[in-house]
Amino acid sequence: MLRTFAEHCLRPVQSLDGLWDFLPECDRAVRGNTPKTFTRKIECPSAWESIPDLSGYRGAAWYHRTFQVMEGKNVRLAFGGVSHTATVFVDGKEVGGHYDAFTPWEVLLTGLKPGKHDLTVKVDNTFGDHSTLHIPNDYYTYGGITRPVELHLVPDLFLDKIFAVPKSGKNGWSLQVRVRVRNVGDTAKGGVIRFSVAGQQVEWKLSEIPAGESAEISKSVTGLDVKPWSETAPNLYDMVAQLSVDDKVIDDKVDRVGFREVKVKGKQLLLNGKPLHLRGFNRHEDHPMYGCAIPAIGMAQDLDLFKDLNCNFLRTCHYPNDMRILDMCDERGIYVWEESHSRQTPFDPPNFEAQIRQSTLEMVENHFNHACIVMWGTLNECDTASDRGMEVHGEVLEYLRGLDASRPVTYAGHLRQRDRCTRYADIVSWNLYTGWYGGKPEKTLAELEEMIAWLDSAESGGGKGKPVIVSEFGAGAIYGCRNQRADPWSEEWQCVVLDEALKAYLHHPRVVGASIWQFCDVRVTREGNNHTYNAYSPMGRPRCMNNKGVVDEYRRPKLSYETVKAHMVAAEKKRGRV
């Protein structure tokens, strides 16, 4: 399942998860053409790095299975995520594809004869000019069909997406609803949409949609008697849309909504009008057993640790996350900063702008209704100093705002007073690392004050008076490396750095959020020669891992776990919860 709940009651949906035929190119003498025979099997979803002899495989691989088609139905193949480039063939004919591991995508098949068909997917996780977002980096680019796959049988006219924006007013809550409907038939079609939420049901006439086109119907549902959503009361409501033609319901779609409003007001971030204080972690989707294809129980266990640490905030560094963990954050009341896929990404490759816009569009359109997402981010630690950098930040942040006016937007910058892009963000976010990449832990507060003074001066060129989040800070500690000298890479040193950082960042009145770098140790790319994560250099990435987790890759707590918990408890006492 792509979600933690059923998105359809009427529409026939089957899971394509399970054992697929599998053939990595490294097994083949002659490569490239669609294989007829397969030498292996692989469980989907999974990362092929979970297979011992493929644990470091960077290349292409072929997946195959069959599927059945019913009379007179179209097939919608829904992929949660394939890492990182997919090409899809049905009965040997190329029918679609996608770039970027971290967003859902689909292939729509019309006119298939009833009966059994062949589905083949070529997956490629190589680096090169074709890939500007997946590059050698301080996290690993895995390979495979790494998130769930579903097969939907849809009529010619079907419900594509629901976008819902809750609004509070003097007469209670209302919901601004946009429903996108697709017509893949060969004649114009209209119908009736029946929409229900929180005990209310309304009907909307759907004007005819020309063949092969999509259309949206925008309506408001008012006077809703609902309980708001927040971390202390994560109330969720089903939205059910049914599409009828000639009084017969032909399709349906279920999504969920939490009634909350997120606003920036002066130096504050407000949730339902109350000041919000975000306290938590940056979390990569990474695990030594599963790579990026962490099963649902693994996601839930990570969130249980967040709760045990008294945290309420998850930053999806540095890409859109699996929809199931976002569903879990909706259900558990954990606030999320979700960001489109970028980390220290160069802007000069010709296809960069198209690829970052696609990641951003798919993130917003597929994750729009998650109550837990309180802000959108993008362009982590990219060029914020040059004219070109300003141009790209301005464009992408404006694009984000255009896709969703209901949430604030931000980017995590690392160039401190050289950053010329704070004008484009609603919230100013800094990756600081005092005490690890420079400076001394005892100077953490002083450096923060210096940054805030700069931000609120004309020097920042547009950040004055905006809310601040310290989006990354931390130190490396190898699990089990202990010494009383608190040497770098010891767990003791990580405690020293985090103690000073949390004291400063969790309690400064100008800081509305702080996310530790990082939740767990993660695998990094061996290729590449970046000074900060060069796996071969002693200062780089021992074990070919980013070792700044507060738990190690197996989620074993380091010495700093209790330090973090104590600070998070103290911060809640002082700054509360919404």
Binding stretches for ligand ADA (CB under 6 A): 138, 317-318, 343, 380-381, 414, 431, 472, 517, 532-533, 546, 548
CB 493, min distance to ligand ADA, A: 15
Return d(Cα 52, Cα 530) in angstroms, integer: 27
318 or 393: CB nearest ligand ADA:
318
Alpha-carbon Rg of the chain, whole angstroms? 24
Residue with smaller CB distance to ligand ADA, 164 or 535: 535
Residue nearest to ligand ADA (CB): 138
Cα 175 from chain centroid? 24
Smallest gap from Cβ 343 to ligand ADA, in A, equals 5
CA 516, 518, 522 angle in degrees (round to 5)?
175
HSE (CB half, 13 Å, CA atoms) of 174?
A: 10
The amino acid sitting at 311 is C
CA distance 544 to 215: 48
Nearest-angstrom CA–CA distance, 239 and 437: 47
Contact 77, 44 (CB under 8 A): no
Q: Which is nearer to ligand ADA, 381 or 553 (CB)?
A: 381
The distance of closest approach from Cβ of residue 310 to ligand ADA in the complex, given in angstroms and rounded to an integer, is 23
Q: What is the C-alpha to C-alpha distance for residues 341 and 352, in angstroms, rounded to an integer?
A: 11
**In this structure, which amino acid lies at residue 489?**
W
Question: Shortest distance, CB of residue 360 to ligand ADA, whole angstroms?
Answer: 18
Nearest approach, Cβ of residue 437 and ligand ADA (Å): 7
Determine how β-strand 468-472 pairs with β-strand 428-431: parallel
In the complex, least distance from residue 389 CB atom to ligand ADA, rounded to whole angstroms: 16
**326, amino acid identity:** L
Question: To the nearest whole angstrom, how small is the minimum distance from the Cβ of residue 576 to ligand ADA?
Answer: 28
Q: How far is the CB of 414 from ligand ADA (least distance, A)?
A: 6
Q: What six digits make up the tokens of 236?
A: 């969720």
Beta bridge partners of 534: none
Q: Which is nearer to ligand ADA, 286 or 331 (CB)?
A: 286
d(CA 97, CA 203): 36
State the pairing for strand pair 274-275/268-271. antiparallel
